[in-house]
């Protein structure tokens, strides 16, 4: 199953791959070179398919838990000042996605979307300290009675050139449901209440819609 954001790119890539195969077969006479080029193009197409895959996740909904919004590795767990929306201290948990990770973004909690904003910006590497404030990004806040308010921020990386965000202010969303997509590598920051019990560790690998990031006592 592939994400809808990849349908057009997959189709265009398929057309290019098929056309390239015909050209290579018609103009390259050396068998080893012909097979090598075809193999390289086929590998490229497989990588495109892998990037846009959208596997089904078994989300166990729980109002007192915040789930990872994306697949990747936990690279930040620290208390910080969140200056865009809350303007107070929160616990930041950041998940870095490599180009081979699933890039679907999922809602970390169920509830009502109270804030959603897109910011144009730079394309610093995703692990850069200033990426959260200077890169292209979107900021979304969801609120429910069990967990409170959770802010998550999609951040474009050096390779990312488009962030897709489906969250709209005033709408109610389900935990683990599709909230967007980031094309070609980046990270997502979660900003959680200070009294949240963090359930992950640095360098831990997590799955979007399944791994528990934090829990309210």
Residues 21 and 111 in one domain: no
Q: CA–CA separation, 141 vs 118, rounded Å? A: 12
- Residues 47-65: what's their mean pLDDT? 85
Q: Classify residue 78: in a domain, yes or no.
A: yes
Contacts of 155 (CB under 8 A, 6+ apart): 126, 131, 132, 135, 136, 137, 182, 186, 187, 188, 189
Q: Is residue 139 part of a domain?
A: yes
**Are residues 107 and 21 located together in one domain of the fold?**
no
* Residue range 2-16, pLDDT digits in tens: 767 768 888 998 999
Q: Which domain holds residue 20?
A: 4-51
Based on the domain organization, do 73 and 108 belong to the same domain?
A: yes
pLDDT digits (tens, 9 = 90+) for 168-217: 999 999 999 999 888 766 889 999 999 999 999 999 999 999 999 999 98
User: In this structure, how many other beta carbons lie within 10 angstroms of the beta carbon of residue 12?
Assistant: 11
**186 noted as active-site residue:** yes
pLDDT at 2: 72
Residue 44 has pLDDT above 90, yes or no: no
Q: For the chain, give the percent of residues with pLDDT over 70.
A: 89
CA angle 113, 116, 118 (to 5 degrees): 160
Tell whether 30 is covered by a domain: yes
Q: What CATH number did the domain enclosing 104 receive? A: 2.70.70
In total, how many domains does the chain have?
A: 2
């Amino acid at each position: 199953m592939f994400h809808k954001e990849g349908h057009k790119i997959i189709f265009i890539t398929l057309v290019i791959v098929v056309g390239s195969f015909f050209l290579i077969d018609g103009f390259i006479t050396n068998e080893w070179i012909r097979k090598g080029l075809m193999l390289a193009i086929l590998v490229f197409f497989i990588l495109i398919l892998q990037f846009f895959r959208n596997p089904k996740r078994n989300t166990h909904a729980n109002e007192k838990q915040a789930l990872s919004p994306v697949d990747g590795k936990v690279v930040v767990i620290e208390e910080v000042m969140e200056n865009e929306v809350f303007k107070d201290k929160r616990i930041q948990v950041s998940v870095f996605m490599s180009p081979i990770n699933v890039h679907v973004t999922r809602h970390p909690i169920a509830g009502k979307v109270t804030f959603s904003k897109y910011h144009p910006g730079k394309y610093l590497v995703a692990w850069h300290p200033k990426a959260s404030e200077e890169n292209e990004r979107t900021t979304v806040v969801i609120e429910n009675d069990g967990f409170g308010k959770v802010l998550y921020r999609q951040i474009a990386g050096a390779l990312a050139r488009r962030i897709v965000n489906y969250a709209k202010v005033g709408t109610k969303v389900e935990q683990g449901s599709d909230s967007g997509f980031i094309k070609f590598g980046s990270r997502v920051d979660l900003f959680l209440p200070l009294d949240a019990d963090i359930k992950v560790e640095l360098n831990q690998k997590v799955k979007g819609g399944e791994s528990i990031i934090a829990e309210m006592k």
